[in-house]
C-alpha cells in the first residue's frame, strides 16, 4: 500500500443509506497524485462514540508514512488521536468540518466546535488543522474538479448513498445564541463560485442524496443554485434554510417559475421553539409567521421539510406553550414530514454555554460542552410543549423523532411509551 493515505469515513445509517464523509472530493486529483484513498467504516450510533474500544479496535493498514484524515464528526477526530498514539511512526494530519478553527492567532489552531482539556498533551505525530485541503497544500479553494470513488468493496452499486457537495463553510446569519459558527475566522471562509455539479456523473446506480453544505442557504443560493441543480430520478438534495422573509421570497419566486422540473429536495428548517418571544430570545431573526410561510410554500411545491425543535429551555412561560399550540394548529397539514426533537446542548463559545449549567461531556481530550440542566418547573413547561407536539403530530401528518431522549431529559422517562 502507498505510504501516503487519504482516509475518509463512511457509516451506514439506520435507514439503510451509506453516509459518505467524502471530504477529499474537492481536491480529488491533488490527493490522488500524492497517495491512495482509504475508506474506513465508522460507528454511526452516537452512544457508542464514547466507548474506547470503538476506536482502539479499528485497524489502519499502514504503520509508517503519512495519513491525511477528513474528519466530519468528532468521532472521526478522536480516531485520528487514537491512531496517532497507536502508530508513533506515522504522521497523522486531520482536517475537516469538525476540526474548523476559531478566529484568533492565525499561527495556532484553536478548535471552533469544542475545547481541549487544559492538561492535554497531543502526540507529536498528530497535526490538526482548520485549513481546507487546498489551503493546506497551497492551491486556491475549489480549484479542482469534484470527484468521488465510492468504495465498491463496501458499498453495493445499487445502495443509496449520502454525499456532500460544499457550497460554503459558514453562515451569513451567524447570530443564533446556541450556535458557535460566528466564531469562525473570516480569512478561512471558503465559498464555491462555480457550480459544476459533478456528482451528476457518478458511476453509481443507487440513489444519490446530495447534501448541499452550508450553515444556511442564502437567498442568493436559493435563487441561483436551486433552479440549476441536475434533476434525475436517482438524485435527491438536502440542505438547511433559515425561514427568514428574504429566503421565503426567493423560494416562492423559484418554485413559481420552475414548473415540474423542480429537483427532489428536502429542506431542514429550524423551528427551534415556535413562539415569537423565544425566537427573538434566540436571535433567530424569524417569527412563527415566517416559518408557517416556509411550510406553505414547500407544501404547495412538493418540497419535503424536516423540522428541528429544541427543548430544554430554562426561560419558558405558559404563553410560549400557548404560542406553540397556535403554531401547530396553523401549520398546513402534511407540509412537514418529520420533527426532530433535541434537548438543548450548550456548545463552547455560545451564550447558552455561559448562561446554563450541566454535566460536562468529554470525548478523550475534547470537551464538547454539556446537555443543559433546568429546574423542575421548567422541565414541566418543556414537557407540556412535548405533549402538545405529540397531540398534533397525527393531525398534521408529521413524524416525531428523538422523542424518548427529550422525555428522558425532562424527567418523564418512566412514562415514555
Minimum CB–partner distance for residue 174 and ligand SF4 (Å): 5
Looking at beta carbons only, is 171 or 235 nearer to ligand SF4? 171
Stretch that binds ligand SF4, among 41-49, 74-82, 169-177, 367-375 (CB under 6 A): 169-177
**Binding flag, residue 173, ligand SF4 (CB under 6 A):** yes
Nearer Cβ to ligand SF4, position 84 or 295?
A: 295
Grid-cell match 423540522, residue found: 307
What is the C-alpha to C-alpha distance for residues 104 and 98, in angstroms, rounded to an integer? 17
176 near ligand SF4, judged by CB under 6 A:
yes
What single-letter DSSP state applies at residue 111?
Answer: B
Taking CB under 6 A as the criterion, the residue among 76, 192, 208, 242 binding ligand SF4 is 242
Q: Which residue's CB is nearer to ligand SF4, number 191 or number 207? A: 191
Number of residues that bind ligand SF4 (CB under 6 A): 10
Centre a 10 Å sphere on the Cβ of residue 116 and count the other Cβ atoms it contains. 14
Q: Counting contacts by CB under 6 A, is residue 303 touching ligand SF4?
A: no
Binds ligand SF4 by CB under 6 A, chosen from 111, 215, 268, 307: 215
Task: Specify whether the CB–CB gap between 87 and 63 falls below 8 A.
Answer: yes
User: Which one among 10, 93, 94, 181 touches ligand SF4, defined by CB under 6 A?
Assistant: 181
Region label for 88, one of left (φ > 0), alpha (ψ between -120 and 50) or beta (otherwise) = alpha
**CB 30 within 8 Å of CB 94:** no
Residue 171 lies near ligand SF4 (rule: CB under 6 A) = yes
Verify binding: residue 216, ligand SF4, rule CB under 6 A.
yes
Grid cell, residue 359, equals 454535566
Q: Which of 283, 383, 277 minimizes the C-alpha distance to 327? A: 277
We find the least distance from the C-beta atom of residue 198 to ligand SF4, in angstroms, to be 26
List, as one string, the DSSP characters of 137-205: HTS-TT-S-------TTTS-TTS-EEEEEESBSS-SS---TT--GGGS-GGG--B--S---GGGG-S--
174 binds ligand SF4 (CB under 6 A): yes
Between 215 and 219, CB nearer to ligand SF4: 215
Q: Is the dihedral of CA 263, 210, 254, 291 positive or negative?
A: positive
Print the binding letters for residues 368-407 with ligand SF4: x by CB under 6 A, - otherwise.
Answer: ----------------------------------------
Contact positions vs ligand SF4 (CB under 6 A): 171, 173-176, 179, 181, 215-216, 242
Amino acid at each position: 500500500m502507498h505510504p501516503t493515505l487519504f482516509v475518509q469515513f463512511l457509516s451506514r445509517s439506520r435507514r439503510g443509506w451509506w453516509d459518505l464523509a467524502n471530504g477529499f472530493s474537492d481536491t480529488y486529483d491533488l490527493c490522488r497524485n500524492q497517495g491512495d484513498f482509504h475508506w474506513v467504516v465508522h460507528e454511526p450510533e452516537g452512544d457508542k462514540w464514547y466507548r474506547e474500544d470503538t476506536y482502539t479496535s479499528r485497524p489502519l493498514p499502514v504503520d509508517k508514512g503519512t495519513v491525511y484524515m477528513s474528519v466530519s464528526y468528532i468521532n472521526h477526530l478522536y480516531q485520528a488521536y487514537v491512531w496517532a498514539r497507536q502508530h508513533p511512526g506515522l504522521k497523522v494530519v486531520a482536517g475537516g468540518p469538525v476540526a474548523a478553527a476559531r478566529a484568533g492567532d492565525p499561527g495556532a489552531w484553536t478548535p471552533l466546535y469544542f475545547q481541549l482539556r487544559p492538561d492535554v498533551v497531543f502526540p507529536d505525530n498528530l497535526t490538526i488543522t482548520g485549513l481546507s485541503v487546498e489551503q493546506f497544500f497551497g492551491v486556491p479553494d475549489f480549484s479542482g474538479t469534484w470527484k468521488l470513488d465510492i468504495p465498491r468493496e463496501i458499498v453495493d452499486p445499487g445502495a443509496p448513498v449520502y454525499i456532500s457537495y460544499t457550497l460554503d463553510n459558514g453562515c451569513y446569519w451567524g447570530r443564533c445564541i446556541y450556535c458557535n459558527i460566528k466564531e469562525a475566522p473570516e480569512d478561512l471562509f471558503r465559498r464555491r463560485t462555480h457550480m459544476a455539479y459533478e456528482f451528476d456523473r457518478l458511476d453509481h446506480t443507487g440513489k444519490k442524496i446530495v447534501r448541499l453544505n452550508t450553515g444556511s442557504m442564502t437567498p442568493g443560493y436559493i435563487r441561483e443554485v436551486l433552479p440549476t441543480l441536475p434533476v434525475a430520478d436517482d438524485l435527491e438534495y438536502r440542505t438547511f434554510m433559515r425561514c427568514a422573509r428574504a429566503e421565503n421570497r426567493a423560494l416562492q419566486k423559484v418554485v413559481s417559475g420552475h414548473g415540474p422540473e423542480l429537483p427532489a429536495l428536502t429542506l431542514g428548517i429550524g423551528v427551534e421553539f415556535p413562539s415569537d418571544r423565544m425566537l427573538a430570545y434566540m436571535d433567530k431573526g424569524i417569527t412563527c409567521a415566517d416559518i408557517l410561510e416556509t411550510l406553505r410554500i414547500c407544501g404547495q411545491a412538493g418540497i419535503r421539510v424536516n423540522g428541528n425543535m429544541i427543548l430544554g429551555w430554562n426561560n419558558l412561560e405558559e404563553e410560549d406553550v400557548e404560542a406553540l399550540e397556535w403554531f401547530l394548529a396553523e401549520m398546513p397539514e402534511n407540509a412537514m414530514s418529520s420533527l426532530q426533537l433535541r434537548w438543548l446542548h450548550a456548545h463552547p463559545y455560545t451564550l447558552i454555554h455561559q448562561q446554563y449549567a450541566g454535566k460536562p461531556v468529554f470525548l478523550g481530550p475534547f470537551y464538547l460542552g454539556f446537555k443543559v440542566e433546568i429546574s423542575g418547573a421548567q422541565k414541566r413547561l418543556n414537557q407540556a410543549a412535548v405533549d402538545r407536539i405529540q397531540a398534533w403530530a397525527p393531525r398534521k401528518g408529521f413524524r416525531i423523532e428523538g422523542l424518548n431522549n427529550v422525555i428522558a431529559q425532562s424527567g418523564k422517562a418512566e412514562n415514555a411509551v
